[in-house]
């Protein structure tokens, strides 16, 4: 017994030593683009300055290399400015920005999800960008998707970078096999989901995430996109309401899907990424997701034959609106180098850099007139086309305590799908929580 | 005749009813142990299975324990990346320093609490125990503000100080308890031989209390090795991060590197496993012996 234990210990030590000395890496230095033909005006020589750029984007595969390349280009153009890139896990970014702000150590430039904006504005974390945008000759607001630049308390706080709008993804092979056409109404989605579900063979018509866990959770992935597809809103007059007819309709839609057995079990514990994993396997008919996952699906299952369409309106009439989500950029109020921070933001927002980032990061730049690359997939091209054609809505950006509110809505969804409450009961309870949280 | 033959055969296998009962009891015990082992080992085995398959096959259906495609790409990606190797190095350095510092201070504080009577001893003892009751998360912001004020934010020293403050109460309580079980006659004999209290502690008492010391060291190392939220908050520089943060960095907003997460977790658990295997009997005896007398 002792001998075998010693052997195991010895083996583990060997593995450990091998692990410590294994491999060597050739660090790749991002190419600094030639500045010979640079049309931008170089900043006058000044004292060296270091600005920090905090984001989670660098954890998304190839995005880190793209950011490094963009930073290298910026530093080549502005030699007196050094950009320190700080990458954090997505789930920790919001918390760390708040904590760093409290301690006075927050980065100069931060990557943001729009739903965090109002909370950050209320905490005094973000600097208004209006004057910087107005005084920058290289920046024209009309060139960019307007959703992220919607004023909050009269000011613009976000610079739009990448847009991740929500669409209905559908498995073309499953639809063709079942002789189904693309849904044009919510009833079509319900019928298609039921037709595609074959539980004995592990096929489901729909996958859904209603998990409260994770930074990107539940209702913002399903109920909000459905709400806006139905041309609904949560802000009615000066009060936020989750009991609007469109929200009731959205909740009933999910309830019907669930009662028909069309939804993959486990929606309460599934997060964003897990939904996409399931859909990538090719046995799920549909999901509601943002167009960032076009890139995810390309990596997971390049052979998956799927399409994307705007979520239809309830009865198929009228034009749906898209729920806007995105990777946006903000400047912090406590940052010490605001002029340099804006120079960096402005650099990132230049059309050539937006185009480059869009290709390298496989995301949709929040800018009109950015053509997809020639080798872009059909869903990628469609996403860009739809974003230019359809209106986008993002109420969470301006909603106080947005995170707490959408979590309550997620709980309502869980209660309805779990059969614990009726739709009216769940939304009434959610409304009571919203009134309490928002003081309305 | 047949009955006699049959009963003789039975009697050859089971001499008594008592033995039969014992066999049944042993069989039940083994069944429970095997089932419990499967329950405990299966998640780790699944981690291993995920770590040796391509990322796009992690959720393949039907799920299979044996990967369809076997690959070491996750391990190669982790072990050939200087950034991840730095995370391992940082975890080792911080773990070892916290362990040594906590243990040394814990030994001295525990000895003082065990052997000496002085004003405020009870209050100090209660204070040490009381600090263990505060949830670590509640200390996050205070520690953050403290470290930034002391200019220790984003430094290894700041993290070491923080982890040591978490490990010390346990170390002190463990060592005090174990020293209480060591007869004071040893101290008296040492002092008669002319040793100072300091010498008595390190040359006479410590060698006798090796099990408790090893148990304490293992616990403090594990505490430091696995800690996530404080290193996430107190360290901004990627070059100073540790393994738990490295694993978290593989969870993006839209993609998770499942196989790399599993491989990094498994590689990260190897030192802890080695430590535990080496000090297993000390760890178990130290846990129980130290708790006899508080």
Any idea where the domains of chain A sit in the sequence?
49-163+326-386, 166-323+400-438
pLDDT reading at B113 higher than 80: yes
How confident is the model over B17-66, as pLDDT tens digits? 788 888 888 999 999 999 999 999 999 999 999 999 998 888 877 788 89
Tokens of B183: 């007869």
Optimal mutation site among B255, B257, B259, B282, interface A, most CBs of chain A within 10 A: B255
Determine, for residues B60 and A61 on separate chains, whether the beta-carbon distance falls below 8 Å.
Answer: no
> B120's torsion region: left (phi>0), alpha (psi -120 to 50) or beta?
left
What three-state secondary structure class fits B146?
Answer: helix
- CA-based nearest residue in chain B for residue A89: B249
Which stretches does DSSP call E strand in A263-305? 284-290
Q: Does A328 touch chain B (CB under 8 A)?
A: no
Residue A23 or A229, more confident = A229
Q: Specify whether the CB–CB gap between A55 and A110 falls below 8 A.
A: yes
Return the CATH fold of A49-163+326-386: D-Maltodextrin-Binding Protein; domain 2 (3.40.190)
Q: Does A10 touch chain B (CB under 8 A)?
A: no
Tokens of B20: 């039969």
Residues of B in contact with A88 (CB under 8 A): 232, 249
pLDDT reading at A110 higher than 70: yes
Residues of A in contact with B81 (CB under 8 A): 23, 25
pLDDT reading at A82 higher than 50: yes
- Residue B265: count other Cβ atoms within 10 Å of its Cβ: 19
A159: pLDDT confidence band, cut at 50, 70 and 90? very high
pLDDT (0 to 100) of residue A426: 97
Question: Is B70 within a domain?
Answer: no
pLDDT reading at A24 higher than 60: no
pLDDT (0 to 100) of residue A18: 57
* Rounded Cα–Cα distance for residues B145 and B148 (Å): 5
> Chain A: nearest CA to B169, how far in angstroms?
27
Same domain, B88 and B45: no
Determine, for residues A23 and B252 on separate chains, whether the beta-carbon distance falls below 8 Å.
Answer: no
pLDDT reading at A37 higher than 60: no
Question: Is B136 within a domain?
Answer: yes
Q: Does A61 touch chain B (CB under 8 A)?
A: yes
pLDDT (0 to 100) of residue A360: 86
pLDDT (0 to 100) of residue B269: 87
Residue A371 or A151, more confident = A151
Determine, for residues B80 and A92 on separate chains, whether the beta-carbon distance falls below 8 Å.
Answer: no
Determine, for residues B274 and A16 on separate chains, whether the beta-carbon distance falls below 8 Å.
Answer: yes
Question: Which residues of chain B approach chain A closer than 8 Å at the C-beta?
Answer: 55-56, 58-62, 76, 79-82, 85, 88, 140-141, 144-145, 148, 153, 232-233, 236, 238, 245, 248-256, 267, 270-271, 273-274, 277-278
pLDDT (0 to 100) of residue B284: 67
Same domain, B137 and B274: yes
pLDDT reading at A45 higher than 70: no
> Chain A: nearest CA to B56, how far in angstroms?
5
A19: pLDDT confidence band, cut at 50, 70 and 90? low
How confident is the model over B210-233, as pLDDT tens digits? 888 988 998 899 999 999 999 999
Question: Is B264 within a domain?
Answer: yes
Share of chain A above pLDDT 70, in %: 89
Same domain, B178 and B82: yes
- CA-based nearest residue in chain A for residue B56: A300
The answer, yes or no, to whether ipTM is higher than 0.85 is no
Question: Is B120 within a domain?
Answer: yes
Residues of A in contact with B82 (CB under 8 A): 25, 27
Q: If we measure between CA atoms, which residue out of B252, B248, B249, B255 comes closest to residue B56? A: B255
Same domain, B9 and B112: no
Determine, for residues A272 and B62 on separate chains, whether the beta-carbon distance falls below 8 Å.
Answer: no
Helix ranges, A78-129 (H): 90-103, 117-122
pLDDT reading at A255 higher than 80: yes
A116: pLDDT confidence band, cut at 50, 70 and 90? very high
pLDDT (0 to 100) of residue A214: 64
Measure CB to CB from residue B80 to each of A25, A273, A277 and give the nearest one. Answer: A25
Domain A166-323+400-438 = CATH 3.40.190.10? yes
Residues of B in contact with A100 (CB under 8 A): 236
Optimal mutation site among B96, B146, B252, interface A, most CBs of chain A within 10 A: B252
What crossing angle do the helices spanning A293-300 and A378-389 adopt, rounded to 10°? 170
B288: pLDDT confidence band, cut at 50, 70 and 90? low
For residue B166, what are the domain limits?
75-289
Helix ranges, B52-155 (H): 73-79, 82-115, 121-131, 140-149
Same domain, B26 and B108: no
Residue B20 or A305, more confident = A305
Query: What are phi and psi for residue A369, nearest 5 degrees?
Result: 80, 10
Same domain, B236 and B283: yes
Same domain, B123 and B6: no
Q: Specify whether the CB–CB gap between B245 and B235 falls below 8 A.
A: yes
How confident is the model over A388-417, as pLDDT tens digits? 899 999 999 999 999 899 999 999 999 999
Determine, for residues A296 and B267 on separate chains, whether the beta-carbon distance falls below 8 Å.
Answer: no
Q: Does A62 touch chain B (CB under 8 A)?
A: no
Determine, for residues A56 and B88 on separate chains, whether the beta-carbon distance falls below 8 Å.
Answer: no
Optimal mutation site among A65, A169, A216, A277, interface B, most CBs of chain B within 10 A: A277
Measure CB to CB from residue B267 to each of A19, A25, A301 and give the nearest one. Answer: A19
- CA-based nearest residue in chain A for residue B143: A103
Q: How many interchain CB pairs under 8 A, A with B?
A: 115
Residues of A in contact with B88 (CB under 8 A): 19-20
How confident is the model over B241-278, as pLDDT tens digits? 999 999 998 888 877 889 999 999 999 888 888 888 88
Which residues between 82 and 111 in chain A have a beta carbon less than 8 angstroms from any beta carbon of chain B? 86-92, 96, 99-100, 102-105
Q: Does A201 touch chain B (CB under 8 A)?
A: no
Buried b (16+ CB within 10 A) or exposed e, B211-233: bbbbbbbbbbbbbbbebeebbbb
Measure CB to CB from residue B255 to each of A8, A61, A100 and give the nearest one. Answer: A61
Residue B99 or A47, more confident = B99
Residues of A in contact with B153 (CB under 8 A): 103, 105
pLDDT (0 to 100) of residue B15: 61
A31: pLDDT confidence band, cut at 50, 70 and 90? very low
Q: Specify whether the CB–CB gap between A324 and A393 falls below 8 A.
A: yes
- CA-based nearest residue in chain A for residue B146: A103
A41: pLDDT confidence band, cut at 50, 70 and 90? very low
**Cα A252 from chain centroid?**
25
Residues of A in contact with B255 (CB under 8 A): 60-61, 273, 296, 299
DSSP secondary structure, A250-271, as one string: HHHHHHHHHHTT-BPS-TTT--
Residue A64 or B7, more confident = A64
Question: Is B61 within a domain?
Answer: no
Q: If we measure between CA atoms, which residue out of A113, A211, A226 comes closest to residue A161? A: A113
Q: Specify whether the CB–CB gap between A120 and A100 falls below 8 A.
A: no
| Number of domains forming the structure of chain B | 2
Residues contacting residue A191 through CB under 8 Å, at least 6 positions apart: none
Question: Is B262 within a domain?
Answer: yes
Share of chain B above pLDDT 70, in %: 90
How confident is the model over A160-205, as pLDDT tens digits? 999 989 999 999 999 999 999 999 999 999 999 999 999 998 899 9
């Amino acid at each position: 017994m002792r001998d075998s234990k010693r052997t195991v210990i010895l083996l583990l030590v060997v593995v450990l030593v091998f692990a410590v000395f294994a491999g060597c890496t050739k660090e790749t230095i991002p190419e600094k683009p030639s500045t010979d033909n640079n049309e931008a005006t170089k900043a006058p020589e000044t004292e060296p300055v270091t600005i920090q750029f905090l984001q989670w984007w660098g954890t998304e595969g190839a995005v880190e290399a793209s950011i490094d390349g963009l930073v290298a280009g910026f530093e080549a153009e502005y030699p007196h400015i050094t950009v320190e890139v700080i990458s954090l896990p997505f789930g920790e970014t919001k918390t760390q920005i708040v904590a760093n702000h409290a301690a006075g150590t927050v980065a100069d430039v931060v990557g943001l999800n729009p739903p965090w904006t109002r909370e950050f504005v209320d905490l005094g974390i973000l600097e208004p960008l209006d004057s910087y945008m107005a005084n920058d000759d290289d920046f024209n607001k009309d060139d960019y998707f307007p959703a992220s630049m919607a004023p909050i308390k009269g000011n613009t706080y976000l610079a739009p970078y990448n847009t991740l709008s929500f669409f209905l993804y559908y498995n073309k092979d499953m639809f063709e096999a079942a002789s189904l056409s693309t849904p044009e109404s919510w009833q079509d989605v319900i019928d298609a989901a039921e037709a595609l579900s074959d539980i004995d063979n592990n096929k489901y018509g729909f996958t859904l995430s209603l998990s409260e866990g994770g930074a990107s959770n539940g209702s913002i992935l399903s109920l909000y996109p459905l709400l806006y597809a139905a041309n609904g809103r949560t802000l009615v007059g000066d009060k936020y309401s989750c009991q609007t007819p469109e929200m009731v309709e959205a909740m009933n839609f999910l309830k019907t899907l669930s009662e028909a057995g069309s939804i993959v079990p486990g929606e309460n514990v599934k997060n964003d990424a897990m939904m996409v994993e399931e859909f990538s396997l090719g046995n799920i008919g549909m999901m509601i997701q943002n167009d960032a996952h076009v890139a995810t699906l390309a990596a997971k299952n390049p052979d998956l034959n799927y399409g994307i369409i705007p979520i239809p309106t309830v009865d198929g009439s009228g034009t749906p609106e898209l729920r806007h989500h995105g990777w946006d950029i903000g400047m912090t109020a406590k940052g010490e180098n605001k002029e340099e921070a804006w120079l960096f933001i402005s650099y990132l927002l230049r059309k050539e850099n937006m185009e480059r980032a869009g290709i390298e990061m496989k995301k949709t730049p929040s800018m009109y007139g950015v053509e997809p690359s020639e080798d872009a997939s059909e869903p990628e091209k469609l996403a860009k086309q739809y974003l230019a054609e359809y209106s986008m809505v993002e109420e969470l950006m301006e909603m106080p305590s947005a995170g707490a509110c959408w979590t309550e809505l997620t709980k309502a969804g869980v209660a309805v799908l779990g059969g614990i409450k009726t739709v009216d009961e769940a939304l009434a309870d959610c409304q009571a929580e919203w009134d309490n949280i928002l003081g309305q | 005749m047949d009955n006699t033959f049959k009963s003789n055969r039975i009697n050859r296998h089971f001499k008594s009813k008592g033995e039969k009962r014992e066999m049944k009891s042993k069989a039940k015990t083994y069944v429970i142990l095997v089932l419990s082992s499967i329950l405990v080992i299966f998640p780790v085995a699944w981690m291993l299975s995920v770590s040796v398959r391509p990322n796009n096959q992690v959720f393949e259906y039907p799920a299979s324990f044996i990967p369809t495609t076997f690959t070491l790409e996750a391990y190669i990606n982790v072990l050939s990346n200087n950034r991840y190797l730095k995370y391992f190095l940082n975890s080792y350095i911080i773990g070892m320093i916290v362990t040594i510092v906590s243990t040394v201070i814990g030994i001295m504080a525990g000895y003082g609490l065990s052997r000496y009577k002085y004003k405020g001893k009870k209050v100090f003892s209660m204070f040490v125990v009381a600090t263990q009751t505060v949830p670590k998360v509640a200390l996050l912001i205070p520690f953050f503000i403290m470290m930034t004020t002391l200019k220790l934010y984003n430094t290894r020293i700041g993290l070491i100080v923080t982890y040591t403050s978490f490990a010390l109460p346990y170390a002190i309580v463990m060592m005090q308890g174990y020293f209480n079980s060591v007869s004071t006659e040893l101290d008296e004999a040492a002092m008669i031989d002319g040793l100072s209290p300091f010498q008595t502690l390190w040359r006479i008492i410590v060698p006798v209390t090796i099990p408790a010391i090893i148990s304490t060291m293992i616990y403090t190392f594990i505490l430091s090795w696995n800690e996530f939220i404080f290193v996430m908050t107190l360290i901004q520089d990627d070059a100073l991060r540790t393994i738990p943060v490295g694993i978290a960095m593989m969870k993006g907003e839209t993609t998770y590197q499942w196989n790399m997460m599993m491989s990094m977790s498994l590689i990260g658990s190897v030192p802890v496993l080695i430590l535990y295997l080496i000090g297993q009997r000390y760890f178990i005896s130290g846990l129980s012996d130290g708790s006899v007398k508080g």
